Amino acid sequence: MNTTYKIYNPFDNELIDEFVYDTAQQVNEKVALLKQGRKTLRDIPAFKRSEILRRLAELLEEHAETLAELITRETGKTISDSRVEMNRAINAAIASAEEARQISGEVLDSDAYSPARGKLGIVCWKPLGTVLCITPFNFPINIAIHKLAPAIAGGNTVLFKPGPQNTASAQLLTRLCYEAGIPEACLQLCMPDIPDMPSLVAHPDISCINFTGGTATANAISSAAGYKKLLLELGGNDPLIVMPDADLNAAADAAINQRFATAGQRCTAAKRVFVHNEVFSAFRALLLEKTSKLKVGNPIEDDTFIGPVINQKAANEIQARIEDAIQHGAKLICGNQMDGCIVYPTILEDVPYTCDLIKEETFGPVIPLCKFTDIEEIVPIINSSAYGLQAGIFTQNLALSKYLYEELEVGTLAVNDGPGFRSEHFPFGGVKESGIGREGIKYAIREMSYLKTLVI
């Protein structure tokens, strides 16, 4: 008997809908269909796949407001933030359409090393097979498109497993994929219950797992996956550094937009803000002034900047970490209020580095301000984190930027921007517990492909 799950609006706890988990048998049937669909997709030439993905971008644009409203109801994300997500999803579909036409290999001449044999090696990228795409709650459409579209562009069939909270938006997205021309045998939506996930991950007809989410889940996936290709985009504890020559207004805007937006529930959020002591007081005052003007409340209203976090458990954990930091000597500058699933924007200073608030990835609207004197003193502090996703620095000093590019253990350093910067065609991913592999459309296609050589 199928078990059911209910979806509630995080803002008002309204029951949105009730769904039924797929049984293990239903999931296996979908995997079998996708295995058959590999030939179907091989018979669709690259320019046709490109046209399909371009049509998908058009359909996403046509249904952008409906999907944005669904995202807001499902996740509590503000409607303005959901609209930004839809714009990025449209761009990702367009970029995937363009990259589908650009997949190329190379020809190697065997006479580079003796004994020369007069042979040529023709090297091409080939699809891995069937990709299991597992997406998180915080960007349900954008992250899905960043996985599904490159997989299809590269010729892979896709088993799409969203977070349960996003079932309705995932269903609509899947229908739009079919309407765009992706055959049903090449894309299937599945929602197995948690106990059935290990067997799905280990399924011999799943060739690759593309997962965005937490480290604990990634560890479970890695244990069950065996020799499958893994593309894991995990958490972050991303630093934002503000130097004395920084544009403080721009830096404060980046801290707010990249920490308080999405109620802080972003892997690339500015979770640790290091401010040079020469500008610390000025930056703190500016940050406090801007934060005081943010509207907190109903996420469906256009001018709301901060809505609820995903559920009460998440809100309670954030609140507990704030209280723990205060008990260990942190000074509260503003915030530390909770109303249901809403956690008000909170700024603290003098947070001990041993507190979970700053040591772990805190998925909520909290900024710990950290004062420093010399850049050399914070590099080991930043690198001591288990994570290494992205970093940002505000400075006019190019030499300093180059120094940090070499020294910081991260996948990306953004200069005069926050760690939340991302562009669809840039490589995206981190080191250490922030994951393995790279997203970004061209790079994601390569991650979900293998090199095959013909010698003639």
Question: Is 317 in contact with 287 (CB distance < 8 Å)?
Answer: no
Give yes or no on whether 4-234+434-455 and 239-423 have one common fold: no
What pLDDT is stored for residue 1 in this prediction? 58
pTM: 0.96
Rounded average pLDDT over 292-305: 98
Please give the backbone phi and psi of residue 163, each rounded to the nearest 5 degrees, phi first.
-70, 145
Per the structure block, which two tokens stand in for 227? 């020799």
Q: Tell me how far apart the alpha carbons of residues 362 and 342 are, in angstroms, rounded to a whole number.
A: 15
Per-residue pLDDT at 311 exceeds 80: yes
4-234+434-455 carries CATH number 3.40.605.10: yes
Per the structure block, which two tokens stand in for 186? 């090449």
User: Using one digit for the tens of pLDDT, what is the confidence trace for 381-423?
Assistant: 999 999 999 999 999 999 999 999 999 999 999 999 999 999 9
Verify whether residue 233 is a known catalytic residue. yes
Angle at 193 between CA 191 and CA 199, to 5 degrees: 95
Per-residue pLDDT at 115 exceeds 90: no
Q: Where are the domains of the chain?
A: 4-234+434-455, 239-423
Q: If we measure between CA atoms, which residue out of 78, 86, 74 comes closest to residue 15?
A: 74
Q: Please, which pLDDT band fits residue 95 given cuts at 50, 70 and 90? A: very high
Rounded average pLDDT over 279-288: 98
Q: Please, which pLDDT band fits residue 298 given cuts at 50, 70 and 90? A: very high
Q: Per DSSP, what are the bridge partners of residue 412?
A: 390
Q: Per DSSP, what are the bridge partners of residue 391?
A: 413
Per-residue pLDDT at 116 exceeds 80: no
Q: Tell me how far apart the alpha carbons of residues 71 and 83 are, in angstroms, rounded to a whole number.
A: 9
Of the residues 99, 233, 361, 447, only one is catalytic, namely 233
Q: Please, which pLDDT band fits residue 117 given cuts at 50, 70 and 90? A: confident
What pLDDT is stored for residue 141 in this prediction? 98
What pLDDT is stored for residue 409 in this prediction? 98
Q: What homologous superfamily is domain 239-423 in, according to CATH?
A: Aldehyde Dehydrogenase; Chain A, domain 2 (3.40.309.10)
Rounded average pLDDT over 338-361: 96
